[in-house]
Amino acid sequence: MKITFLGTGSAIPSERVQSGILLEDAPLLLDCGSGALLNLNRSDVKVDDVATVLLTHNHLDHVNDLMALVKADWLLGRTNLSVYGPPGTYATLSGLFDAYDYLRGKVDVEVNEVTPGTEFEVQGYTVDTLATEHSVESMAYRFDDSFVYSGDTEAIPEMAGFASGCELLIHECSFPDDIDVGNHTRPSTLKPVLESCDVDTVYITHMYPHTRGRETEMLAKLESAVDGEIHMAEDMGSVEIGGGLLK
């Protein structure tokens, strides 16, 4: 399984684009923030090959490029798109189609609202979900025993058990410790979760501009919490899972 980070940034513009992760083998998208579609076009996957999007929550920096994907699909001849997300996803999509009414009916968009804590099947994967702690209903995804993506969340102890046994945990770490902002994670709050989590490798993502120049400092605070490796995700960086993790 090859995972490519399309966007590792946040709601405030920086050199990083907004949230987006590509599973190239499926292929499918996890979140679709502004700039994710541009970087998808730079990957080895064609835009119209993506038929499934999983949203962790419905904030702008995670859905900004969703309607751009719908329009691209229409222009390229794709007729269907499946979107999964927490309760509220249907209302979000309905509102977007109200705003961009000319796209209504151009692509058959199937919206699947998932109750956090439940399991579903998508494109050959068994996907578990976990309710996370954010300013809107949000959830993390676990793909088989391969990897977990936290989405936006404060550090919660339940994440350790949810991710244990996976090869890879992708967890947000939005700010350095001296920026105390609710609804997000900092190194000091993430460290206890990682200390209790049995996972081979960790990548942190969703960096606000406040982290610029402090990447080494943030990673150093977390290195002792993991037995394996920890890295800061970068736009268009890739990892491969299965038979060992390759940077």
CA distances from 204 to 123, 133, 215, 230 (A): 26, 17, 10, 8
Residues with catalytic annotation?
A: 61
Nearest to 55 by CA among 123, 149, 134, 144: 149
Q: Which residues contact 99 (CB under 8 A, 6 or more apart)?
A: none
Instruction: Note whether 74 and 104 are within 8 A (CB).
Output: no
Amino acid letter, residue 66: L
d(C-alpha 181, C-alpha 127), whole Å: 30
Q: What is the DSSP letter of 2?
A: E
